[in-house]
Structure formats: C-alpha cells, structure tokens
Chains A and B, each alone.
Chain A
Amino acid sequence: MSFGFPLGLLSLLSLAPILAAYFLRRRQKPRTVSAVFLWRTKSQRAQAGPRLQRFSREASILLEALAVVAAALFLSDLRFGRTVEQRHLVLVVDGSLSMAARPPTGKPVAERVRLEAARLVERERVGLLTVVESGVHPRVLAGPQVEATRALAALEKWRPQGPAHDLVPAAQLGKELAGGEAKVHLLTDGPLPAGAALPPEVELTALGQPADNLALVSAQRRDEGELAVVTVRVASYCGSSREVAVRFEGPSPRLETIRLEPGATAAIRLSFPGAGPISVALPDDALIEDGRARLLPSPVQKVRVRLLSGLSAAEAAAVRRFLEVAPGVLPAQPDSGADLTLGPEGSGATVQLGAKGALKSFVGPFFTQKHHPLLEDVGLSGVLWTAGDNPNGRPVVTAGDTVLISEEEGALRLNLELSRSNVQRTAAWPVLLGNAVRRARLSSPGFQKRQLTLGEEVPVVTEPGGSYTLEGPSGARAVLGAGAVTLPPLSPPGTYRLLRDGEEVDALEVLAIDPRESDLRDRGAARLPAKAAAGIGLAALADRRAVWPLVLLLVLLLADFSLTARER
C-alpha cells in the first residue's frame, strides 16, 4: 500500500476536533429526571428501548471517525501494490518559427501537429503522454507522463516562435524521458539538415508544406538627433519574381514598393522625423510573423568626457583634437559626472597618459593582447612609441620588456611620451581613443542593442545595488549579476522592458526574424521510421485515484445523518 499524495493524511487531524466535541458532549450538564422513558420518542421505544440511545452516540462518533479516515484515504490517493501499466508516448514538437506557417492550402502546420498528436494517442492507445518542445534549450511542454488529455490540452496552447535550432538535443531529451528504449515521435515541418543524427528510437514525421514567403531578414533603427533612420532588408523565398509593398507605420506612414527576384534580397533605408516606435509590415503570406517588425527608438548615447588637469600641452592638444571630431561625445559639465575621464599618470582617470622614468623608444608592430576591445582596428605598425618605466596593471601592449599600455580596474594606462612619439599623428590614435569612448558608452546601464533577432543573446549592463527585472510577453524574471551581463536568447518575440526597482530603465524589441526559418520552400511532408525496433513504453504509474474511499465517505455521512436525524 502506498500513497500518491501523502500530505492528504494530514486531514486525519480533523479527528481531533470531532473527538473533542464528542467528549465535550459527554460532559454535558446532567439533569436527573423521574422518568426518562417519557422523553423517548416512539420509534426508540418501539425499536430498542433505552439501549439504542446509549449506543447511538458511540455509533455516530464511530461513523464520523470512519468518514474522516475515508476522506483521508481519498485525499492521500491511496494505492495498493497493484498498479495499472499505461502506455506512455513521448512527443517532440519542433518549436521553431516555421512551425507557425499557414500554407495557402490545408491547415496550419501547428494545427497539423496537434491533429497528428491526437491521432497517435488514439492509434497507440496511449494513456500517458510527454510533450517536449525543441528549441535552443528544449523544454517539457506537458509531463513528464501526464494524462494524454491534459497533454493534448497543453498542446492546444502551444505557439512555436523559436529560432532555427538543432532538433537532436530535444530528441535526446525525449529519448531519456521515454525510458531509453521506447519509441519517440518527432514532429517537424521538413527534412532534417544533412548530418543530423537522430537517436535510432526516434521516428520523424514532417508535416510541413512548401510555400512562398516574403520575410524581413534584418531590421535596424538608428536615431540621430530628431531623425530616425530605419534600414530593413527584405528577402524573397518565392518561386517567381514578386513586387513587394513594404509598409512603414510611424510618425509619417510610408509605403515602399520593391521588386524581388526569387532568392534575392533588397534593402530599404528611410528616414523618419520625430520619435516613437516605427512598425514595418510586409504583405500577409504563409508566415506572417516574419513580415512584421516593431522598431523602438534607439538614440546614440552621448558619452560625457572630462579632461583632468596635469596633462602636458602636447597631450592635451592630442586629446582635444580627437574629441573635436569624435561623434557622440560631450564635454562633461563641471557639476555632473563623466562617463570617461582623461588625465595624467596617477590621476585616477579612466585613461591615463604619460611616461615616467628613463624613456625608451620603440617602433611598431608591438605585442598586443588578442581580441582586446580597446585594440580593435588599432594598427601600430611603423608607429614610434616612446615609453618610460612600466606602469602598474595587466599588460595589453608590450615592446620587449616594456609595457606600453596596461589596464587596471577599468583604467587604461598609456605609457607614452607624446613629445617623442608619433602615435598621435597616426590613424591608431583616434581609433584607440574611439574604442575607449565606445567602452564607456557600453558600460552605461541598459541594453546595448534595442533590436534583437530570434536566438540572439542579450547584452545588458546593470548597476550594483539595484534590483533589475526583465518584463516581457511571457512574464517577468529577475536579472541577476551586476555590470555587463549577457542574457540567453529571449523568446517569444515582442517588447521587453528592463526595470530597476520597478521603474523602467530601458526597452528592447525581439524581432521574429530568422532567415533560416523564413525559407519555406524546402518544407514538406515525410515520415522517417525509427531505425531501432522500439515499441511504445509502459509506465507503471498513474493508477487513477481510487474512488471507493469517496463512496465510502458518502455512505458513512449518510448513515451518520440518518442516525442523528432519528435522534431528533
């Protein structure tokens, strides 16, 4: 004997008040009378005389106690050793965006998947069903091992909106949930890519249908001053040349018509005055989702720069020359903070400039740390660099034993004597300082990008001490970690808001754009049987909740009611 829900046994605690009431009644104030027989009802006198009355209260408490036990057995889901084995099937459904396609003829692919699932349940006489949705991270939609009707109900709410991904991990998960040897059904909309190796127990059923589709394959927006520049690229996955009307909804709606050859793409760049979101829409086709984009304002964030005192005239002049031409840079006001500071060695600035000690000159190229963001596109070949003693920090650029650039706790130290160098007169100088400005810009709180495509990771910067929450179409979740954090790809597509202590900090839009999912020309119906002769799995669980304790409970309650009513 076992219990499916042992916590139900807690209902036995209700015996305590019932017994307490019983004993309190026993202690009811006695009243001596001359003739008890005059107080009896006729039925009691006729049936059993005085004994019935003495017995009835004990019988009532016995019935009530048994009723409580029956209720506890029902609530705790009493099971005996005998369990009913039920057939268990694991379904893996493709969660990619192309599964939401609505071919011009026939049912939508997702609806076909639901019908196929119901047909499998009926054909295989399945009692328990587990549904896994594939994706970048596979997840269990229903189950494991829930009643087939409940699993099918969960499948009704399923909306495939994921990026293109490998189906194999989901198939592996399904295989494990099936017990290792039982058959797993994988429902998708087309053939697997070449080289994909499904587990041999997996039977693949493709339910797709080839269809022409027009899609946005990229959409970007950049706000420069009062002007929003929108760039979209439209691709045609059609069998013939198509004329496409691209509709822009925003402060000033626009309609652009382009002609696209099969497989070709075309870019449209438009400028819109004013702020506010701008929506882009293609004509409805087989996959509507990839023809819609909503572009949030994404102004270039200005970086506030401050020059600290102590720089030599040559150093200050070199820096000022850069700042005068650098885009998105503002001199910091005296009474406000700065995102980037430049100053002499030892000043605590973000970028420290200067050399001390014995000076030595070097000619590039130098040893540089690979892929360092500050050195991106910085060419130091042929550059004359005069440096002094090695500065503190982690070396970034070195020449022999001499450290030319080091980095320590976010501060960049340029061991450079400009009066004896020509770095400031080469292209490396503005690029190096531009990288420093970009890093300062990216270190401000919020999203680094405001338009993301499906499956794209989300870089976000948070400040220590704040509680950040990401609120999206599927709910809210906490953003853990401080500083530059990279979040996993967001799904489903839609608008996501970053909240700090309940107040909105930033927002981004995840666009339903994935060129690999938009091409529906190769989709089709197919069936690939399992390579291994696997059968339907059996699950020894889920014997249905026994009903007899409930029936017993009702009978006992009725008997108790009858007994106590007779007393009245």
Chain B
Amino acid sequence: MREVDQAAVERACAGVALALPNSPHRGRVGEVRAASVGSSMEIHDFRSYQPGDDVRQMDWNAVARTGELVLRVRQDEVSPRVEVVLDGSKSMAVSEEKAARAKEVALLLCRLAARQGLDPTLLITAQAPVRAIGASCQAAILRAELDARDSLGDSLRRAPPLRPCGLRLVVSDFLFESPLEALADRLSRDASALGLVQLLDAEDLDPSGGVGARLLDAESGEALERVLTAVVLESYRQRFSEHQRLLCGAAFRVRAALVVASAEEGIERLSRTALAPLFEGQAKEARAR
C-alpha cells in the first residue's frame, strides 16, 4: 500500500491559501463578514434601542438629532467553517496511486484550512463513515479505509449529516451513475461555496487496450466481458466525455468550482496546476472566466 507523502503535502501548502467565499454563512470570529449581526466595524443597520442592548453601540449623534434612542447594528466578522468530504468508496482505491493522492489532496485542503485559522471538518464516507474536526483530521485521513461499496451519493445517506459551513470541498472521482445534479444540490446545501475535486486514475482517463478482459466494478463487483479493441476504447472515451459534461453542468448549476486532477501527478504539482482554481488568486481568475 502506498503511503501518503506528508512531506510533499507540506511542501504543496507553501504559498497557497484557500479561496474563501465572499459571504460565508457562519464561523468563528474572524476576518470575513458574516451574514449575521456582530461587532465588526462595518455598520449593517440602525434600529431602536431595546432593553439589554449594548449601550456602547448607541448612535449618540442620531439621539441628538432625533431625540430617540437609535442603536447602530454592526455586521459580525467570522472565520468561515471549511468542510472537507473525502469519497470513501472502493473506486477511490482502484489503484494505490489514486488512493494515496486522494488522501493527500484531502490532507492538503485540511492543512490549508487550519493554517488560515478556519475550522476544518473532515467527513470520510467509508464503509464506516468517519468525522474529524481540527487537528484530528490528519490522523483520520491517514487511517482512512476507502472501502465503501456504494457511490458517494448513497454513502452520504448513511454518513453523519453535512453541517452548514462556509466552504465545502469534496474529493471524489464522481464516477457513478446516480444523478449528478441531485448530488451537487445536496453537496451545495448549507454551504456558501462548494469546490469539487475530481480525482481520476490514469486508467480512468485513458484506459489501455489489449486482449479480452473481465472488467470488474470496484464498488458493485459487477462483471463485464470485453475485448478491448480500439472501437471499444473509443466508445468508452465518448461515454466518459458525456459523463464529464454532465458533471460540469451539475457543478455550474450550483456555482461550484470543479477541478479535475490526475492521480498520476504528484500533490505538489497538482497544487500548482489542477487544484489552483481552489486557491486565492487563481480562484478570482477562474470566477472571472
């Protein structure tokens, strides 16, 4: 079993930061304006004083002008909560590289969130789902068994519920037949922003040909006899393109950022290339595009 390269993850963290949503839902006191009222310097509204209000927020100028007790309502400043969801199905472990890279990507995202003082939460949808918060995320990722025999959509039903958060990042191969739009809806619910990391094995992207083979589905165990001729491979590529188009459409509908990463590439290179749209700088460009 190939081990997770933590040093490479550490190196990949250097110089990058997660792109946070403009209007996060909730979070600890931080730098990002929250949807709720709070005590930041930004004035959100004015209203009449109610007993119990903080008199320090009284707008005395207004009281002088109007003779009424007018209170400044300030917007709260929060640090948004980040939730990382790692698809724990068997297809994520179809090759050792793919399994290791998935964990490395999840670890990278958790570390970046922690570095930015966000509140990372990890959910691994394995056969025995795992939820970890904060510093325990790393250990959970390293211990994770990618052994679920169902798709991400199905495994989310038996996993602990997704929590409202500012940024939700999902690491999966998204190679399943269940409706992608419904899954995207579900993943974007109670999240200000959604990032989808589609991690694919080299054989997923460009399967090799050869003689006849018994194709076994990693999750369901379904078998299929095929002679891997050029025609069959071309048919696969067409079908894969169609699937990717559906995934892109589903991501676009919920305004999610979708990145496609190849497990063949190392995590450092991925953080500079395929995963860049999730980070500050490139995210703005991506949004602009």
Contacts and interface: CB of A to CB of B under 8 A. Distances in A.
Nearest to B94: A34
Contacts of B236: 38-39
A37 B214 CA distance: 13
B136 interface: no
Given A53-B224, A53-B225, A54-B222, A35 B216 contact: no
A29 B177 CA distance: 25
Most chain-B Cβ atoms within 10 A of its Cβ — which of A32, A54, A57? A32
Interface in A3-39: 25, 28-39
Nearest to A37: B177
A355 to B, nearest CB: 103
B104 interface: no
B243 to A, nearest CB: 7
Contacts of B240: 38
Interface string A114-150: 0000000000000000000000000000000000000
Contact of A32 (B94, B175, B225, B235): B94
A1 to B, nearest CB: 38
B224 A30 contact: no
Interface in B189-213: 200-201, 203-204, 207, 212-213
Contact of B235 (A25, A28, A31, A41): A41
A54 B223 contact: yes
Most chain-B Cβ atoms within 10 A of its Cβ — which of A31, A33, A34, A38? A34
B215 interface: yes
A30 B91 CA distance: 15
B197 to A, nearest CB: 15
B176 A33 contact: no
Contacts of B213: 28-31
Interface in B210-268: 212-218, 220, 222-227, 232, 235-236, 239-240, 243
Given A32-B94, A34-B91, A35-B176, A40 B218 contact: no
Contacts of A32: 94, 216-218
B119 interface: no
Contact of B225 (A28, A33, A34, A35): A28
A567 interface: yes
Given A29-B213, A53-B225, A54-B223, A34 B218 contact: yes
A50 interface: yes
Contacts of A53: 222-225
B79 to A, nearest CB: 36
Given A35-B91, A38-B236, A41-B235, A30 B225 contact: no
B173 interface: yes
A35 B217 contact: yes
Interface in B75-96: 91, 94
A25 B211 CA distance: 12
B214 A29 contact: yes
Contacts of A38: 175, 236, 239-240, 243
A37 B232 CA distance: 13
A25 B235 CA distance: 23
A37 B212 CA distance: 17
A526 to B, nearest CB: 79
A25 B218 contact: no
Contacts of B218: 32-34
Contacts of B220: 36, 50
Interface in B129-180: 173, 175-177
Contact of A31 (B176, B216, B227): B216
A28 B212 contact: yes
A28 B214 contact: yes
B216 A25 contact: no
Interface residues of B, number: 31
Contacts of A40: 224
A34 B173 contact: yes
Nearest to B173: A34
Contact of A36 (B173, B200, B222, B235): B222
Contact of A33 (B94, B227, B235, B243): B94
Nearest to A26: B214
Given A50-B222, A53-B225, A54-B223, A34 B214 contact: no
Nearest to B91: A34
Interface in A35-52: 35-41, 50
A31 B225 contact: no
Contacts of B239: 38-39
Contacts of B224: 36, 39-40, 50, 53
Contacts of A57: 225
Contacts of B200: 34
Interface in A46-87: 50, 53-54, 57
Contacts of B91: 34-35
Nearest to B177: A37
Given A38-B175, A38-B236, A31 B215 contact: yes
A568 B235 CA distance: 11
A24 to B, nearest CB: 11
B215 A39 contact: yes
A458 B232 CA distance: 80
A46 to B, nearest CB: 13
Contacts of B212: 25, 28
Nearest to B207: A33
A567 B173 CA distance: 27
Interface string A486-523: 00000000000000000000000000000000000000
A38 B236 CA distance: 6
Contacts of B226: 39
Nearest to A57: B225
Contacts of A54: 222-223
A41 B91 CA distance: 21
A381 B6 CA distance: 142
A2 B226 CA distance: 43
A187 B114 CA distance: 117
A539 to B, nearest CB: 53
B223 A35 contact: no
A36 B175 CA distance: 9
Contacts of B176: 35, 37
B216 to A, nearest CB: 5
Nearest to A56: B225
Most chain-B Cβ atoms within 10 A of its Cβ — which of A25, A33, A53, A568? A33
Contact of B217 (A25, A28, A36, A567): A36
Nearest to A33: B215
6 contacts: A29-B213, A33-B204, A33-B215, A39-B215, A39-B236, A568-B227
| Smallest CB-CB A-B distances: 8 pairs | A36-B217, A35-B175, A34-B91, A31-B213, A30-B214, A38-B239, A50-B222, A34-B175
Given A39-B235, A53-B223, 8 more contacts: A28-B213, A29-B213, A33-B204, A35-B176, A35-B217, A37-B176, A38-B236, A38-B239
